[in-house]
Structure 1
């Protein structure tokens, strides 16, 4: 069989990474080898991340937003626990009601904290004479 193009020259001094993208190809090859040969990837260090902690709260979120989100989460927990309590019986119902009551207490604490941050405007009562 006759090939339309000749074989490339066989020169041992020629590197396969001498193209314009040789650095990118070399880095990709190294990553692939590291992945398949089990070399651990480099660890990412975040200033606010703690060891063993999966989630963190963004450090630039204001207190009002944090409390508002906590309040919404507690309301969702109350809804789930309340619905569950009316679908089951016995000691499991008592557990669901206990979760509901604890969430209700946390909701009251969050609401008070939000009021302390941004107190409502006092209503002025004027008596007509």
Structure 2
């Protein structure tokens, strides 16, 4: 029986091509390692200083968790009302975007309310 598709030609690589390919792989490995070291293991500890947040607006360190969660709930509720009012003045895709933002705010508000319930259960 004759084959309709011929066998592929065997790959023939010269020793020079193999050496060039191996050298390229080694260079790629070295470049990858340098990139990983740069981002994950900086050689100089002063090179990657942790970001220090601004102290212009700072929450008092002795505020209890319940107060923080209650304030976050109120802030999210206010943001939800503001974006809802804003969405009423929009139409089309912009309105859908604003309503999507409102949905995210409401979901965050629900999560904060659940955390608040766990801190101070209302029985």
* TM-score category, normalised to shorter length: 0.5 to 0.7
**Structure 1: where are the runs of 5+ without partners?**
1-49, 122-129
Please, which of 90, 102, 117 is the counterpart of residue 88 of structure 1?
A: 90
Within-5 A mapping of 1:95-106: 95-106=97-108
Partner of 1:112: 114
Distance in 1, Cα, partners of 2:114 & 2:66: 12
Partner of 1:51: 52
Name which structure has the greater RCO, CA cutoff 8 Å, separation 6+.
Answer: 2
**Structure 1 position 88, deviation (Å):** 0.6
How many residues are paired up? 72
Distance in 1, Cα, partners of 2:66 & 2:53: 27
**Structure 1 position 56, deviation (Å):** 2.0
* Structure whose CA Rg is larger: 1
**Structure 2: where are the runs of 5+ without partners?**
1-50
Distance in 1, Cα, partners of 2:69 & 2:95: 29
Please, which of 76, 81, 93 is the counterpart of residue 78 of structure 2?
A: 76
Distance in 2, Cα, partners of 1:99 & 1:57: 26
Please, which of 65, 76, 79 is the counterpart of residue 63 of structure 1?
A: 65
- Structure that is richer in helix per residue: 2
Could you state the TM-score of these two structures normalised by the residue count of structure 2? 0.54
Distance in 1, Cα, partners of 2:108 & 2:122: 20
Quote the RMSD (CA, aligned, Å).
Answer: 1.4
**Structure 1 position 52, deviation (Å):** 4.6
Partner of 1:8: none
Partner of 1:45: none
